[in-house]
Each structure stands twice: as structure tokens, then as C-alpha cells.
Amino acid sequence: MILFTAVLYSLLLFAPIHGFPLGRGRGILGNPPVFHPGLLCNLPIPVVQQLLCPRQSTPSLNVLTPLGIARGAADGSNAARFAVKYASASRWQPSSLVTTWQLPNGNTDPTKLPLSCPQTGVDGSTMSEDCLSMILYVPNSVHIGSNVPTLVWIHGGTFIFGSATGPGLDGANLAVATNSIVAVIQYRLGALGFLSPSGNTNLAVKDVVNSLKFLKTVLPAFGGDTSRVTVAGQSAGASMIRALLAAPSASSYFRSAIIQSDTMDYGILSTSSQQTLQNFYNTLLTCSSADTACLNGLSIDTILNSQNDFSNNAVNYDASAGVVEPIRPSRDALITSPLDSTAPFPQVSKPLLVTSVRNEAGFTIYGGFPDGLDSATYIGAVTGAFGNQSATLLLAQPSYAIPTQVEGGTQDLRPQLQQMGNDQVWRCPSWTFTRNWVNNGGTVFAGEFMVGATYPGNEQVPFCTQAGSVCHQDDIEIVFGTVPSPTAAQAALTTEVQARYSAFLRTGNPNVSGRPNWPAASGNNVNAIQLGASGMASIGACDPSFWGAAVPYDYQTFAN
């Protein structure tokens, strides 16, 4: 050890001659080759850092990675934040990993956050096609050699909105509470991510795979264990995770997954449906699919306008597109299974957390019928959406039936329609997926959020601000610990969820001492616990003999 240390000191002293940057303080950048024992900790030799470096109470904001120096910024008093570009991509072409550490969007200031990917409804100055970036949140307690797990968060937004800087997605509190690294990533959205005129499919999914490859390279420099990576996401972010689970080539880059409020009813598009929809999109452009120069010359506004036209009319070209999320992942060489009930389910092994919230459809139903819903309109809406045969079964189901004493009356039937939408799109297909996953070798812990925090935008619908309502997205700030002025119930659930997520990141099991047991699902019983309340979630109409059998999911109805 004495000889080994002497050699290292010699290397350090002569490093300036060979171009190794030295500095003062704890970073390795700055002024002059002045010797400081702490500089040993910045040598890119893991054994040196593990054997000779003192444990640090605060992180360096300059971290040596295999791709170069990562420059970060303090995020609160207990974590550091590192924004970084993980990949580059030409328009409508597959992305490629960066080979050097770069701040996003050509920034020189590490406190700057990445611009979002192009999307409608935002200021053009806040978005860029150069958007394949992520933000790493690293607790002060974590350093090289800590070998902590990593949670990779994939934002939602129906595949056309969202970013790593969305409301509530600051990962510092979550990172500190779970003593893990949190990476919040961005991927190409809308037509730029899923509708390449030349037929390059699932570009956005491939972006996410590249983000995981990037993390595998750099995580050890921050103290992360590359064998304990969990992908997590909500809504379209959860659907993206389902696409990753259906992509065998992506499997080695993560160990487990957390799926929150996945719209599983819609399904992964078939190859033929994707081609039909791609052909339609191409007709909306003024360029031929082979004219790269013309395509590259299109303005972002032109592309987003054609994307809007596509979204408004896609269902007329292929019914499986639907009206809510026609742009989404599709079957191809990367995604080899639909992971649903329309094809043989593959053998699986990864542990999953699968959750929904109490009132997933609350924003849509109460926002769409702000003045109430009478029985005639209710019957018409169900019949129009499902057809006569399925509507008859649905209206006879206790969860959705019209109370006999008010038939023909004006009682507000929004609760029944909200529950139907909740069950159809989120809750029941997620539990069908859970049973399939367990029956084919995997482990699932299912849950339902009974307490939430009104997510920005949801306040536009008064129902979502009422006591007891938990609308779609209202789980996000609970998980991240970013609820402004939380109530006692919100604070308690945040503490519980973060403790359970911490355990899951490490062991694949969310059970922790001092908390009620969270049983794993079986092939017959999903055992979904109520998060924020005691007891188990009611199966209700999610019985396997009803949804997915008597009344098919959309992915079954439009399977081809």
C-alpha cells in the first residue's frame, strides 16, 4: 500500500505535465497545480477513490465521469443537480449517444435546465429539437463507491407534451428520501418521435433506450449501481415503460419498473396500423418521404400543425388509433410483443409496481359534463362508445347501473361514467396485465392512490379539487415530495410511498418495517392495496370475467 500510494502521489504531482487538470478545493477544475490530498479523489481510478478518499458530507459539483467533467448545481441544501445531453439526433433519424459530457442546448452555465422537446402550447423559446437531455439528482450523502440504486423517471403527456422540467418533477426530495440517484429524462415527442416519414418507427422509444445506455456509462462516477436501475413513469411515461418491457433488447438496462396510471386499454399499435397512420401523416406534409432536404427544411410550426391535423383525424383512418392518444409506440423489430391479451404473453421475470389513482377519469368526465349528466345522455354516451351489446352489459353492472328510483330522472350520473372510464382505460386493464405478468413468471405489487395532490391544471375542473378526489396526475407530487404546503394526509403518504419506493429500488419488494404488508399479486388476485387508506382496493367490475372477457378492451376490439 505504501508503494501504491507513492506512485499515485507521483502521478498527481506530474499530472500537469501530461495535461491532467488540477485545481483547488474539492473540484478538479480551476487554478494551478497546487497539491492537495483531496485531489486523489478526483483521479479516474475507482480503487483510489474507494480506498483513500474520505466520505464526503456534501457532493462535489464537478464530477469526473468517463465522458468528461460533469458540472452541476446545488438543488436545495441536500442534493446536487446535473443537467446533461445524453444523445443527439438529426430530424426523424435514430439518436446516437454522446461521447463527451455536454450541458444541454450548448449551455455554459450548469444551473440552466434543458429546453423541452417541440410541442404545442408552449413558448417557442423554451423548446428545441436538440432536446435529448436528462437531469440527474444526487443526494449529498452519495459519492463514488456508494453503489446506490437509480430511479429513471419518464414523464407523461400523451406522447405529445411534457418535459424533464414539468411541474413537480424536481427529483431532489425523492433522491434524498430514497438515498438514490434520480434521473428525469426527455425524449422526442409527437410526430418527431413516432411518425418519421421514411418509416423509422419508435424513435422516441429508442431515445429512452439510449438514455439508459448513457446512464450505464456514467452512474458509477456519481455513486450509482448500474445493476439496480428502476424505470418509473406516469401515464404516457408508464406506457413508454410497457414498451421497454416489450423490447427484449432493452431488458439488460434496467432491473425493475414502476408503472403509474398507464392507459393500457389503448394498447401498443400493430405494425399494420402504424403503417396506415404513417401513410396518412405523410399526406399532410408538403415533402415526399424521400426528400430529406425538404423535410429538414420544414419549420417546427409546420410539423406541429400537421401533427394536430393528424391527431384530429387519425381515428378515421384506423380505428385502433382512438381519439385520445393516436401517437404512441408500435410493434416493430424493437417492440416484439403487445404485452396484452391478444397474443401469447412472453416469459418475464422483472418485479413491477403497478398503480392507478382513485379518479383517473375525473378530469375528463367532470370537465366534459360540467353541468351534470342525466340518464338519457348517459345511456347515449355508453351506447355510442361501446355499441348496443356491450352497453347493455355495462349498464347492468352494479358499478355503472342507473339507480332504479331515478330512471328517466335528472340525477347526476357523472360518478358512474367516471368509474366506467377509470375502469376501462386504467384500472382493469392494468390488473389484467398484472395477472398476465404474474402468470408468466414475474412479480407485481399493485396499488391504488386514495390520497393525492391536485396537479397543476387539474384545478380547472372543480371535481378534482374536492376532498377525496384523486384525479389523473395527482400522484406525481406525492411521489416526488413536491406538494406545496402538504396536508397531514399528503405528507404521511409521501413519506410512506418514498419509503416503499426506496425498498423496491433496492430489493424489488416495497415492504418496509412499520408499514402494513403489501402482498404481491397472484394469478387470481391482484391484492391491490389502498395507498393513503387502509385495506385492499375493491375489485368491482375489474373481475376477469367482465372487462377483457364480457366487455373487451380497446386493444382487443381493434386487434389486427
Q: How confident is the model at residue 407 (pLDDT cuts 50, 70, 90)?
A: low
Q: Are residues 259 and 155 in the same domain?
A: yes
Per-residue pLDDT, 200: 96
pLDDT at 55 over 90: no
What is the C-alpha separation between 422 and 102, in angstroms, rounded? 42
Closest-CA residue to 256 (of 150, 170, 338):
150
Q: How many domains does the chain have?
A: 3
Please check the confidence at residue 53 and state whether its pLDDT lies above 80.
no
Note whether 309 and 390 are same-domain residues. Answer: no
Q: Are residues 329 and 402 in the same domain?
A: no
pLDDT in tens, 492-520: 999 999 999 999 999 999 999 999 999 99
In terms of Cα–Cα distance, which of 191, 205, 461 is closest to 327? Answer: 191
Does residue 345 fall inside a structural domain?
A: no
The reply to whether 349 falls in a domain is: no
80 and 108 inside one domain: yes
**In a shared domain, residues 147 and 193:** yes
pLDDT band per the 50, 70, 90 thresholds, residue 18:
very low
Confidence bin at 560 (pLDDT 50/70/90): low
Domain identity same for 281 and 386: no
- What is the mean pLDDT of the segment spanning 169-190? 98
Read off the CATH number of the domain in which 223 is found: 3.40.50.1820
Specify whether 139 is located in the same domain as 61.
yes
pLDDT of residue 408: 54
How far is 50 from 221, CA to CA, in rounded Å?
11
pLDDT value at position 29?
29
pLDDT of residue 559: 83
Considering the domain boundaries, does residue 101 fall inside one? yes
The pLDDT, as a whole number, for residue 44 is: 45
The answer to whether residues 509 and 490 belong to one domain is yes
Q: Kindly report the average pLDDT of the chain as a whole number.
A: 90
Clarify whether residues 274 and 417 are in a common domain: no
Which DSSP letter does residue 116 get? B
227 is a domain residue: yes
Domain end marker among 303, 322, 339 = 339
The answer as to whether 261 is a domain residue is: yes
Q: Is residue 252 part of a domain?
A: yes
Cell readout for 467 is 376532498
The residue with greater pLDDT, 198 or 45, is: 198
Average pLDDT over every residue of 247-256: 98
Length of the chain (residues): 560
Q: Is residue 163 one of the residues assigned to a domain?
A: yes
Q: In sequence order, what DSSP letters do the residues of 149-174 get, joined into one string? A: EEEEEE--STTTS--TT-TT---HHH
**pLDDT tens-digit profile of 228-238?**
999 999 999 99
Q: What is the mean pLDDT of residues 17-36?
A: 31
Residue range(s) defining the domain that contains residue 238: 57-339
- Same-domain status, 421 and 278: no
According to DSSP, the residues that pair with 96 across neighbouring strands are 88
Q: Which of 290, 305, 339 is the last residue of a domain?
A: 339
Residue 41 has pLDDT above 80, yes or no: no
Catalytic residue, chosen from 235, 306, 356, 502, is 235
> Of 322, 339, 356, which closes a domain?
339
Residues 517 and 379 placed together within one structural domain of the fold: yes
Q: Are residues 386 and 532 in the same domain?
A: yes
Query: Is the residue at 356 inside a domain?
Result: no
What pLDDT does 406 receive?
Answer: 55
Give percent above pLDDT 90 in the chain: 87
Q: What percent of the chain has pLDDT over 70?
A: 88
235 is known as an active-site residue: yes
